[in-house]
Amino acid sequence: MSNYKVFYRSVKSADTHHRVNEDCYMHVQYYMMNDAKINVLAVADGMGGLSNGETASRSAVAGALESVHRELLRRYQDSRGKNFSMTHHIEWLEAAARTALEDANEAVCATAEPGVETGTTLSLLLHMGDCAVAANVGDSPIYYYPAAEKELVLVSEIQTKAEMEACAGRYERFSQEYYEQSHIIMNSLGSYTKLPQGSVSINVLEDVRHGDMFLIGSDGAFGRLKAEDILELLEEEQGDVFLGRLFFEAGKDKEDDQTAVLYMICEG
């Protein structure tokens, strides 16, 4: 049986013009029908410059949570089998994550003021047994640390103009041109009543082990730090101390709200 340690940290930007922290996060654990526990984690980053970013991020997280709860409950009720386990149906967790992002988008639209532009990113992680599903819309990263390999892997999609241009070979990733475009988000929740096709990024991991970690955060939590920079910090410190150092280093190059969740899989 696996145990889990979850560390959170959320800090409002030091920018005096930035009145509230527009990020939102959650961690919920489900235990249904004596099956393995399902952990759900999410971070949403209300888009700066748009109206009521904090309302959008909270609506996204609430909408996603309600959706995941409903989808999991439906699957377990439909199974009607004493030996049923969701661990044999990772595709259902994947479907639940995709539906959660779509429902979160509807929740953001439903709480938006008429005629007022709003938006938020949302990154979602579902973990059960040796499987995990990472899903996102926007640019809030999800990193995976497989302990055996001792590396840090980006398992979400950074949906910014900077990444699109870098992938197209128009300029180098992390160049000056890259950072000039990194604030332009190509996909977000709240822009359309229905998410356009291709907006949702899904990544399924099927060999998650004890000692592995996931790191989810708003873009402000990472600033201009590269994966190797974050890995170096993670190998030096863990838990809340690591998050504190991460925020400090990220804040040197970018002034923004900072929210992150570090999820550690431990021996039972």
In b/e form, how buried is each residue of 175-197, taking b as 16+ CB within 10 angstroms? eeebeebbbebbbbbbbeeebee
Q: How many residues does the chain have?
A: 268
Distance CA 246, CA 28 (A): 24
- The pLDDT mean for the chain works out to 92
Q: Check residue 254 and give its pLDDT.
A: 83
**How open is the CA angle 61-181-11, to the nearest 5 degrees?**
40
Each residue's pLDDT tens digit, 234-248: 999 989 999 999 999
Do the Cβ atoms of 244 and 9 come closer than 8 Å?
yes
Angle between helices 53-79 and 90-111 (to 10 degrees): 140
**How open is the CA angle 104-28-150, to the nearest 5 degrees?**
100
Q: pTM of the full predicted structure? A: 0.94
Q: Check residue 117 and give its pLDDT.
A: 80
The DSSP 8-state label assigned to residue 186 in this structure reads S
The DSSP 8-state label assigned to residue 178 in this structure reads H
Amino acid code (one letter) for 139: D
Query: Mean pLDDT, to the nearest integer, of 218-223?
Result: 95
Residue 145's CB is within 10 A of a number of other CB atoms, namely: 22
Q: Check residue 268 and give its pLDDT.
A: 58
Each residue's pLDDT tens digit, 106-139: 999 998 888 778 899 999 999 999 999 999 999 9
**How open is the CA angle 145-148-151, to the nearest 5 degrees?**
40
Local structure of 25: helix, strand or coil: strand
Give which of 131, 150, 46, 26 is closest to 86, Cα–Cα.
131
Each residue's pLDDT tens digit, 67-84: 999 999 999 988 876 788
Q: How far is CA 195 from CA 108, 118, 128, 161, in A?
A: 11, 14, 27, 18
Each residue's pLDDT tens digit, 46-70: 986 555 788 999 999 999 999 999 9
Least trusted range by pLDDT, from 13-22, 31-40, 99-108: 13-22
Q: Which domains does the chain have, with CATH numbers?
A: 3-266 (3.60.40.10)
Do the Cβ atoms of 90 and 154 come closer than 8 Å?
no
**DSSP per-residue letters across 105-150:** HHHHHHHSPTT----B-EEEEEEETTEEEEEEESS--EEEE-TTTT
Residue percentage of the chain with pLDDT more than 90? 79
Each residue's pLDDT tens digit, 29-41: 999 988 999 999 9
